[in-house]
Structure 1
Amino acid sequence: MPLATVTAAAGAVRTLLRLEEGNEAALVERAAGVALGLAESFCGQMLVARVVEDSLAGRAAWQALSALPVQTILTDGEGAIDRDGRGWFRTAEDATIHYRAGLAQDWASLPPEIAHGVAIMGAHLFDNRDAAAVPPAAVAALWRPWRRMRLDGPRRA
């Protein structure tokens, strides 16, 4: 996760908690980073765009790239991006594929529901750092529309 994204998320957590700048900054930043990771795991996609590297074995068939949603494939060759943001690449030899994936370019361009859910989750983690507590149901409700799930593996037509 880009450091600028974690810092911006920490600012949103700090605002929600009504903490002053610098007050327990390391804990807030850690909680924000964990909340961002939880959001990516829950949603099943990268939230903020960054460059990803996949190693693919040489095959005649199309192979799915691991991260979603793919914005652009940076490696020259036979690549494609389908309407769902799944990246595909075909290579006859073993290759390392570089591509850019993510839902938004930065924290500011994230959908507000995701960003607010991250702030709520970060505040929850900060407030409950010494005890196990059930995460707020509102977080799942905010993230659920952005969740990507598959029951089978990706297939290219």
Structure 2
Amino acid sequence: MLIEEESGGLAAALAELKAYLRIETGGEDAVLAGLLRSAAALCEQFVGQWLLARAARETMAGDGRWQRLSARPVLSIESVAAVDVDGTSEMLPVDAYAIDIDAAGDGWVRATRAGDGRVLAVRYRAGMAGEMNGLPHALRQGIVRLAADHYLARGNESAAPPAVVSALWRPFRRMRLA
């Protein structure tokens, strides 16, 4: 189970969106910020990566197998704890687990002392950039264009994003094959 913290960092994108739409007042800021959050979430789903760095906590079986963390790209794995059936948690010593972050940004964890029936609780950070301005320009532009499209189409939304948005995001898409 993956639990993530909220991230901020849409202020720069809000200014870009307002400039793109030629809006100079602040009366629509709440609506525009909501559209940006939705567009950023759709971008994350499309590319299969977290855009902005944020903390995550994930639980997984402690059976000794290498297991991939759900979010990516993983920036750091901060701690690994064992959780008993009753919910009590114990930080594991370094020799009780192994961690790895591969070249693709996937985080891997395994218990080296498997068989005690406990699950692992892993805390880590994942994301492509610390703020919106740190993202590749094409991703940022796609988010702004999608939010602008939704703003301009209020009430008669289409089912698919504009083709230009998909074209901007496609080079960053990472998918897992089952």
Fold conserved (TM > 0.5)?
yes
Q: CA deviation at 1:88?
A: 0.4
2:146 to 101, 118, 121: 121
SS of corresponding position for 2:154: coil
Is the counterpart of residue 37 in structure 1 residue 41 in structure 2? yes
Is the counterpart of residue 2 in structure 1 residue 7 in structure 2? yes
Correspondence list, 1:1-157, <5 A = 1-3=6-8, 5-76=9-80, 77-91=97-111, 92=114, 93-133=118-158, 134-152=160-178
- 1:48–1:105 CA contact under 8 A, matched in 2: yes
2:93 aligns with none
- 2:150–2:157 CA contact under 8 A, matched in 1: no
- 1:104–1:110 CA contact under 8 A, matched in 2: yes
Structure 1 runs of 4+ off > 4 angstroms? Answer: none
SS of corresponding position for 1:61: coil
Q: CA deviation at 1:74?
A: 0.4
1:155 aligns with none
Letter in 1 for 2:15: G
For 1:21 and 1:110, how far apart are their aligned partners in 2?
26
- 1:6–1:29 CA contact under 8 A, matched in 2: yes
For 1:111 and 1:15, how far apart are their aligned partners in 2?
19
Q: CA deviation at 1:21?
A: 3.7
Q: Alignment length, in residue pairs? A: 151
- The structure whose Rg is larger is 2
CA RMSD across the alignment: 1.3
Q: Which runs of 5+ in 2 are unaligned?
A: 1-5, 81-96
- 1:107–1:115 CA contact under 8 A, matched in 2: yes
For 2:153 and 2:11, how far apart are their aligned partners in 1?
20
TM (normalized to structure 1)?
0.90
Q: CA deviation at 1:11?
A: 1.9
Which piece of structure 1 moves more, 58-67 or 85-94? 85-94
SS of corresponding position for 1:74: strand
Q: Which runs of 5+ in 1 are unaligned?
A: 153-157
Q: Which has the higher helix share?
A: 1
For 2:161 and 2:53, how far apart are their aligned partners in 1?
26
